[in-house]
Amino acid sequence: ASQVVKAMIKKNITINGAQVLVLGVTFKENCPDVRNTNIVDVVAALKDYGIKVTIYDPWAKPEEVLHEYGLECHSTLTSALKYDAVVLGVAHNEFLNLDLKLSLKDNAVVYDVKGILQHADAKL
C-alpha cells in the first residue's frame, strides 16, 4: 500500500479522500475463495491513509467478504466513479481485457501487483 501511496504523491494526487479501485479480493485468481487473502491487509493500509477504497471482484461473493472481513465488495464495476488509482491484486481472467480508461482519472496511478496488465489487452 505504501508504494501505491508514494506513486500517488509523485503525481500530486491528494491522498486523504482519494478514490482507489482494488481489483480482486480472493485468495488466488479465478477462484471464489476469500479465506486467507492478503488483499484485505492492503485495503486496511490504504484506508489508514484516509483513502476511499472500492473493491471489485467478479469471483467473490459480496456477502462472504462482508461476513469475513466487514468489507463491501462489488461484483460489477460501475463507470460512474473515476478513480485516482487502481491496484490489481488478483489476476482474474476478467481483468485481462478490462477497459480501465473508463474508470480512471487522467493522471491516475495503476499498480499491478501481479504484472498481468502489460501482457494483456487491458486498456490503460
In 49-86, where does DSSP find H-type helix? 62-69
pTM above 0.85, yes or no: yes
pLDDT of the residue at 24 = 96
pLDDT, one tens digit per residue, over 14-64 is 999 999 999 999 999 999 999 999 999 999 999 999 999 999 999 999 999
The answer to whether 13 touches 107, Cβ cutoff 8 Å, is yes
Residue 119: name the closest of 96, 94, 103 by CA.
96
pLDDT of the residue at 121 = 52
